[in-house]
Structure 1
Amino acid sequence: MTSDQKLCVGLSLNATWNKGDGWRHPDSGVEQTRTIDYYIQWAKIAEKFKLDFLFRADYLYISPQMLGDSSNFGSPDPTLFFAAIARETNRIGLVTTISTTFNPPYVVARQLQSLHWLSNGRAGWNIVTSIEGADNFGNSPMPSPEERYAKAMEFTDVVCKLWESFPDEAIVIDRKSGQFSDKDKVTAINHSGEFFNVKGPLTLPSHPSGSIPLFQAGASDIGRNFSSSVADAIFAAMPDLESGVELRNDLRRRAVEHGRDPNAIKVLPGLYFFLGDTYEEALELHKAAHSHLTLERRHASLQSVMGLDLTGCPLNQRVIAEMLPDPSQAVRSRTHAELLRSFITKYQPTVQEILDRPEVVGSAHWVSVGTVETVMNDIIERVEAGAIDGFIALPGGSEKSMEIFFEQLIPKLVERGMFRSDYEGATLRDHLGI
């Protein structure tokens, strides 16, 4: 970031603040999270404080973690979710998640362009290749990462071509001549590739505000190559400062290799924060959020993430690189596996330290626990180190944590000139500076 640039800040609407045992508190209000009105309320608050966008992840399968003692009402279609929110907001961006592995590109292009129109230019697409769910689409087992990303590249190309196939300029509306549209400007794409054959054109014109911004998450080598080639913003996995600096520098270098301006890509890690009036209060929120993760669960998660079995090892035993499994071994998440592998190789941590890592107990997010000053300093440190262009807020612990974020932390970022005091445009492209 340069000194005159503002942070790009989004808010996740995946109810991360109810993870762990927090939902069991009488005042948690967890029942409200099954209604759209609850999320509309937070969407309006986020817009009041001028956040760039709202974000929601998506799941195309039921994992064991979604059932039992976890507060989870499932995963509604995020595009429909944001279509409802679009009617209740005016400026904030709406970034929906859609998989390129299990959907037809024509349907996705149409859905996204429809959301773009419904929101008047505020739609964004978080491109994912999915890591599970093949059994629900007659496509088992899951394709390899190489195949998924090759498909994602062609899928994204087809979607962008479809958006261009019916430009807004084709709508003439000339009452005098009787010409409503210029049919010569609406053209077939006639795409024929390895995975898709699509004629086109799309069934609706593009929005006057311009194309839909592309978001992507993936910190593995193949994921970085895809992200740096197409994305306007990247949801980066960076549990610590060093991994963040390395990732952002690498993504910007790759962008140049793809013929892109490195400043055109915003690197946005998830900031999983636990805010309290005191450090002790925030720490208790963090403990409660992970209290349901027994030692057995953590070991199972570690095996799923990187194939490393430490169940018979003492918690104070140090883990060295020689103990790591073959990196070619199939794992649930190559991104998380590589982050953990790097951490173990560099620091030789104890078993307990590994089992406490974000990649094991969470999703490799950057975690910050404490008062407003604590989290503020963490943000400043990463900005000054060149690790981030902004972040996606993942409120943890309670609604109070989220309230402190809006009412105290965001105003402090504004005071320091690190965040806007008002919107300068009306579309997501405006907010991202595209």
Structure 2
Amino acid sequence: AAHLDFVFRPDANYLPLPVLEQSFGFSSLDATLLMASIARETSRIGLVTTISTTFGHPYLVARQLMSLHWLSHGRAGWNIVTALQGHENFGLPAMPPSDARYTRAIEFAEVVRALWSSFPSEALLVDRMSGRYADTAQILPIKHHGAEFAVEGPMNLPRFPGPRIPLMQAGGSAKGVDFAGQVADLVFGMTPDIASAKAMRDQLSARARAHGRAPRDIRLLPGLSLYLGETRKEARALFLETHRRVDRMQRVERVLSVIGLDLSEWPDDRRILPSDLPQPSTSNWGRTHRERLRRIVETEQPTVAELLARPEILSSVHWQVIGTVDDAFAEISSWFEAGAIDGFIAVPGGARSSLDLTLKALVPRLAEAGLFRREYRETSFLGHLQDENVLTPETGPDRFTSVNCIDVRAAKRSISSGTEDDSLNC
């Protein structure tokens, strides 16, 4: 009813038990099966599932995704992840290094796309008169022999006779951004402020050009955590109530784990100065969160109490709006007009009322302002993303391209919807 581009489900192949004390975490239905069930109950919205290239195999994944594409009549999407945890469930002594995971992911995606092309829909004849089911001359093996996989093919399912399956990616490392430059249509970005969003947008544009693609081919959709209320006071109360179980010691531990600064013995009124910060880690693990907290200290010099009350400490490191629909509309518009984003993935949190305000008030407000579609004009997921009637900063007043609860950009506006979860960076 809100005409979003897509909905997607983050997923993981392990169960973080500490999270289960207060949240369902990743204890969920299989994401692909869940999307298949939603396909039957919907007709337009894109359905993006999450599948890991570290723990999966391209033949099985190619078939699963193309099956979802058929079942949904062209609405499937693949969120490609390399995973951060879960090796113990797949017989691995440790998680492979980031570069090794992306090397595998690049080959994995190459094999999947080759398999999708190996059995073209045009090969299906289904000619009862002649007794011919298929023109087998068009169904060809891929004969892939690479460093990670040996796959003969062809796939045992024809390609859907319509728009292809869009690909989404979320890695923020140099290798991850380069991978996105090669294959991604959408990037689920962890950009907590406009500066990091602009930097990510610039990096994606550069890597797109390096791989012979246009920058507009890749849409940057930051996760946007929304705690919305009729008033700012109501929204703030909703946010604090949602995170009231996060005690002072847990907050101190988060600061220590992210930037290496132990505040356990510091008084609440002591200011944290840039000179107090340890040397920054060179690890990619939690890099976005680390850079965000260091920026807060360097620019604001908060007291200990002020830092421990920050949303970045209490909840996720995603872009956050805690306020009214007007506040969210103003900030989204500002980020988009600045060229920092192409849309966003809305993650309404705290209560059903926040979700309702997002879908029934915020999205219509964006549509009224010419920043999002008023109705669907296409039936496929890729069609939503390529809808030329939804314009972009380069083409005219309609600005948003995609939204996962909401996405904005290149030749159109789009929107989609995620689920509030502190572990989305996985």
Residue 62 (structure 2) pairs with residue 127 (structure 1) = no
Amino acid at match of 2:181: S
Residue 305 (structure 2) pairs with residue 361 (structure 1) = no
Measure the CA separation in 2 of the matches of 1:187 and 1:357: 56
The Cα shift of 1:317 comes to: 3.2
Equivalent positions of 1:33-432 (< 5 A) are 48-71=1-24, 74-305=27-258, 307-315=260-268, 316-320=270-274, 323-329=277-283, 332-341=285-294, 344=297, 349-357=302-310, 359-432=312-385
More helix by share: 1
Gap change, CA 1:430 and 1:251, over 3 Å in 2: same
Contact conserved, 1:268 with 1:392, CA < 8 A, in 2?
Answer: yes
Between 1:335-344 and 1:70-79, the stretch displaced more is: 335-344
Measure the CA separation in 2 of the matches of 1:104 and 1:354: 43
Gap change, CA 1:346 and 1:162, over 3 Å in 2: farther
Structure 2, unmatched stretches of 5+, are 388-426
The Cα shift of 1:321 comes to: 6.4
CA RMSD, aligned part only? Answer: 2.1
SS of match in other structure, 2:48: strand
| CA-to-aligned-CA distance 1:112-144 (integer Å, 9 cap, x gap) | 111111111000000111111111111121111
The Cα shift of 1:430 comes to: 0.3
Measure the CA separation in 2 of the matches of 1:340 and 1:166: 50
SS of match in other structure, 1:194: coil
Measure the CA separation in 2 of the matches of 1:323 and 1:281: 34
Gap change, CA 1:343 and 1:255, over 3 Å in 2: farther
The Cα shift of 1:312 comes to: 3.9
Gap change, CA 1:278 and 1:366, over 3 Å in 2: same
Measure the CA separation in 1 of the matches of 2:157 and 2:247: 51
Measure the CA separation in 2 of the matches of 1:273 and 1:239: 12
Contact conserved, 2:272 with 2:297, CA < 8 A, in 1?
Answer: no
Measure the CA separation in 1 of the matches of 2:78 and 2:176: 16
Contact conserved, 1:358 with 1:365, CA < 8 A, in 2?
Answer: no
Contact conserved, 2:259 with 2:277, CA < 8 A, in 1?
Answer: no
What's the TM-score, normalizing by structure 2? 0.85
Amino acid at match of 1:168: S
Measure the CA separation in 2 of the matches of 1:191 and 1:345: 51
Amino acid at match of 2:252: H
Gap change, CA 1:322 and 1:170, over 3 Å in 2: farther
Measure the CA separation in 2 of the matches of 1:140 and 1:311: 34
Question: Could you say which residue in structure 1 is the equivalent of 2:424?
Answer: none
The Cα shift of 1:397 comes to: 1.6
Question: Identity rate of aligned residues, in percent?
Answer: 46
SS of match in other structure, 1:205: coil
Contact conserved, 2:15 with 2:26, CA < 8 A, in 1?
Answer: no
Measure the CA separation in 2 of the matches of 1:108 and 1:358: 37
Contact conserved, 2:224 with 2:319, CA < 8 A, in 1?
Answer: yes
The Cα shift of 1:258 comes to: 1.4
SS of match in other structure, 2:157: coil
The Cα shift of 1:267 comes to: 0.7
Gap change, CA 1:284 and 1:357, over 3 Å in 2: closer
Measure the CA separation in 2 of the matches of 1:308 and 1:171: 63
Between 1:343-352 and 1:361-370, the stretch displaced more is: 343-352
Higher relative contact order structure (alpha carbons within 8 Å, sequence separation ≥ 6): 1
Gap change, CA 1:49 and 1:108, over 3 Å in 2: same
| CA-to-aligned-CA distance 1:8-41 (integer Å, 9 cap, x gap) | xxxxxxxxxxxxxxxxxxxxxxxxxxxxxxxxxx
Contact conserved, 2:191 with 2:288, CA < 8 A, in 1?
Answer: no
Contact conserved, 2:171 with 2:177, CA < 8 A, in 1?
Answer: yes
Question: Could you say which residue in structure 1 is the equivalent of 2:409?
Answer: none
Gap change, CA 1:72 and 1:229, over 3 Å in 2: closer
Amino acid at match of 1:375: A
SS of match in other structure, 2:41: coil
Measure the CA separation in 1 of the matches of 2:154 and 2:300: 54
Question: Could you say which residue in structure 1 is the equivalent of 2:415?
Answer: none
What's the TM-score, normalizing by structure 1? 0.83
Measure the CA separation in 1 of the matches of 2:275 and 2:357: 41
| CA-to-aligned-CA distance 1:160-216 (integer Å, 9 cap, x gap) | 111111111111223333221111111111111111111111110111113210001
The Cα shift of 1:92 comes to: 0.4
Amino acid at match of 2:242: A
Question: Could you say which residue in structure 2 is the equivalent of 1:22?
Answer: none
Gap change, CA 1:321 and 1:88, over 3 Å in 2: farther
The Cα shift of 1:322 comes to: 6.8
Between 1:107-116 and 1:285-294, the stretch displaced more is: 285-294
Gap change, CA 1:190 and 1:397, over 3 Å in 2: same
Amino acid at match of 1:404: L
Measure the CA separation in 2 of the matches of 1:351 and 1:151: 43
Measure the CA separation in 2 of the matches of 1:319 and 1:223: 32
Q: How many residues align?
A: 386
